[in-house]
Amino acid sequence: MPLEEKQLDELSREVMEAQRTVTAITNFTDRFPEITIPEAYAIQLRSLQTRLKNGELVVGRKIGLCAKANQQLFGVNEPIYGHLFDSMVVPEGEPISMSRLLHPVIEPEICFVLKDALKGPGADVAKVLAVTAGVMPAFEIADSRFKERRKKAQDLISENSGAAMVMLGGQLTPVDNIDLRLVGMVLEKMVKSLPPVPALPCWAILPSQ
């Protein structure tokens, strides 16, 4: 049975309150096994609209489940997306309090800084590079507000695709002479209480200010 508008509103408020209070909630897919991908995005959109009304600014987008293996694991056939807000951006080198997070995961990213708007359909590699001012190294700190490990993409999407925080590197590099297929990274454990979590690099896209 499709979720009613009132239910979508309530679930949006619930996931936002879980984020605000750093309190885990029961997975939506456990409570509503038939929840659809469009309904999950409807919940995300309501949360987006609330945050915009509260004065937050969208500074970029995050893309998740880029790898086919992860898409199959979560039951989708394409990547998912979420929104990055100004309140999520952490200056390079600034400590991050674990008290703000429930189930944090560190993910190395390549951040695309755009000089022009990118719109589809037909947004292929050439068009992406044409509107890119440069790339920056970044760490995404993803998080989950649910009690159980997320089992379906609907849980992930409904809570803004896990977006929590992002730390940008301090150097913007033009893409003219870079083969991004050959870009690698090294993640080192610096503090015993914060073990690194392996993750596949994905993409974050930020518009230039």
pLDDT digits (tens, 9 = 90+) for 124-177: 888 999 999 999 999 999 999 999 887 799 999 999 999 999 999 888 999 987
The CATH code belonging to domain 5-207 is: 3.90.850.10
CA 9 – CA 47 distance, rounded (Å): 9
Q: Helices 5-21 and 37-53 meet at what angle, rounded to 10?
A: 60
pLDDT digits (tens, 9 = 90+) for 47-63: 999 999 999 999 999 99
Least confident of 49-58, 69-78, 119-128: 119-128
Average the pLDDT over 120-125 and give the result. 86
Q: In this predicted structure, what is the pLDDT of residue 209?
A: 47
- Each domain of the chain, given as residue ranges in start order, spans 5-207
